[in-house]
Structure 1
């Protein structure tokens, strides 16, 4: 199986000028060994998020959130839809979260001065599950609090049409740093293709995360991700879409949050109308009346130029095949 090694997975931009690291056929599985968002800087509580001490933070924008790629998919052309299937994610034996002054919504807090007066790094131990790996392992938040590891890929996508964008805060229809917890094993992610070969990148795995990634970092970790790429030829996808085994999710990023929510819902309606035979009236009424329609707020943190990421989700049981 072809693989991008961890040391190769140190790109900090979605750049169409990069030479492909792999060339794969549609349906061919490959692996990317990813760094965590700090490129390995955080190893213990003594490693603080002080910009002057972090390698790459003398750059603007800083070198953070590394990705591996590009991967060239044979046959991919502008106007196609790329289908990204996440087949397996095995995370490292620990993850981390870092807070402190001028980081996140409480980085200048007077109500809780400990959040903004000093830097704090928490390291979370991972223990393997019955499989002997972290696939079914446990994250230990503290001596008393733990939960199942629920990994997902925080940053993935293809090179955008004309821009070169940073993997730290680049976002768009093509993907980017969206921190969507539904970019997980067993789900398929759809993005539009703009360049020959699609030029796919992936990185920034999280061992777990709640809604919004409120502090600006979650359980950041290294991982090995197995992926396969496929194509829907000449298929227009307006923005990132996710197909789960039991649900459809339309994603959008914008500010304010209500704009992201509204547009994600519009795009979900369009999906139902163009591919599942709904009338505009039925699609419009469904998203307002269905008790299982959900708005997911995946990422809403105050970092760099990041927009707020929302997903409009409808279970497949309401969608006639």
Structure 2
């Protein structure tokens, strides 16, 4: 099996000029070993998020969120859609979160001086599960709080059309640092292709995260991601989409948040009309009446130029009730 090893997964931009690290056939399974968001700097509670001590923070924007790629997919061309099918994510033995002065919404807090006047790093131990791996393991937040490891890929995408955008705050229809916790094993991620081969990257795996990544970091970790890439020829999705086994999700990132929510919903309506046989009227009314319609606020943290990321989701059982067959993308 082909693999991008961790020491190769240290790119900090989605750059169409990069030489591919792998060339794969559509449907070929391969692996990418990822660094955590801070390239291995945080290993113990004594490793604090002091900018002067962090490697890469002497650059603007800082060298964080390393990604592995690009991966060239034979047969992928501009105007196609690339589908990333995530088979598994195996995280390493720990994850971390770092808070402190001028970090996140409480980084200047007068009410909680412990957050605005000192740096804190928390290290979370990962316990393997019944399989003997972390794929079904447990994250230990503290001595009394723990939960199942629920890994996902925080930064994923293909090279944008004409720009070179950083893995730190680059976002767009092509993907980027979106921190969508549904970019997870078992799901299919749809990306619009702008360059021959697609030029695919990923990194920034999280062991778990709640909606919004409120502090600016979540359970950041290193991981091995196993996946395959498929090509839908001559069809380009308007923005990154997700197909779960039981639902579909349309994404959008912009500020303010209400525009991200509205645009994600409008894009979902378009998806219902184009792929599921709905009339515009039925699709429009469905998102206001279906009790299982959901809006997700995946990312809403104050970091660099990041926009807010929203997703609009509907279960497939509702869609298939229309009599249409699922096409996925």
Residue-by-residue CA offset, 1:120-175 (whole Å, 9 max, x unaligned): 00000000000000000000000000000000000000000000000000000000
Matched ranges for 1:180-191 at <5 A: 180-191=180-191
> Structure 2 CA distance, aligned partners of 1:2 and 1:244?
26
Gaps spanning 5+ residues in structure 1: where? none
C-alpha displacement at 1:226, in angstroms?
A: 0.3
Note the alpha carbon deviations across 1:228-281, whole angstroms, 9 max, x for none: 000100112010100000000000001010000000000000000011010000
User: Does the CA-based 8 Å contact 2:14-2:167 persist in structure 1?
Assistant: yes
Residue 286 of structure 2 is matched in structure 1 by 286
1:45 Cα deviation after fit: 0.4
Structure 2: state its 5+ residue gaps. none
Tell me how far 1:26 sits from its aligned partner. 0.1
Distance 1:259 1:78 in 2: 28
In 1: Cα distance, 2:256 partner to 2:105 partner: 15
Aligned pairs (5 A) from 1:133-212: 133-212=133-212
Question: Which residue is equivalent to 2:248?
Answer: 248
Give the 3-state SS of the residue equivalent to 1:212 in structure 2.
Answer: coil
Question: Which aligned pairs between 1:74-93 and structure 2 lie closer than 5 A?
Answer: 74-93=74-93
How many angstroms apart in 2 are the aligned matches of 1:127 and 1:191? 34
Deviation (angstroms), 1:203: 0.2
SS of the residue corresponding to residue 213 of structure 1 reads: coil
1:119 aligns with 2:144: no
Q: Secondary structure at the match of 1:95?
A: strand
1:52 equivalent in alignment to 2:52 = yes
SS in 1 for 2:317: helix
Once residues 254 and 204 of structure 2 are traced to their aligned partners in structure 1, the CA distance between those partners, rounded to angstroms, is: 21
Normalised TM-score (structure 2): 0.97
Normalised TM-score (structure 1) = 1.00
Task: Measure how far apart 1:224 and its partner are.
Answer: 0.2
Distance (whole Å) between structure 2 residues aligned to residue 236 and residue 196 of structure 1: 14
1:111 is displaced (CA, Å) by 1.1
Distance 1:111 1:258 in 2: 29
State the SS of the aligned residue for 1:267: helix
**Distance in 1 separating the partners of 2:217 and 2:277:** 40
Distance 1:133 1:44 in 2: 22
State the Cα deviation string for residues 200-245 of structure 1 (Å, max 9, x = none). Answer: 0000000000010000000000000001000100112010100000
Question: 1:227, 1:164 → 2: CA distance?
Answer: 25
Structure 1 counterpart of 2:262: 262
Deviation (angstroms), 1:113: 1.0
Q: Per-residue deviation at 1:63?
A: 0.3
Matches of 2:227 and 2:174 in 1, distance apart? 17
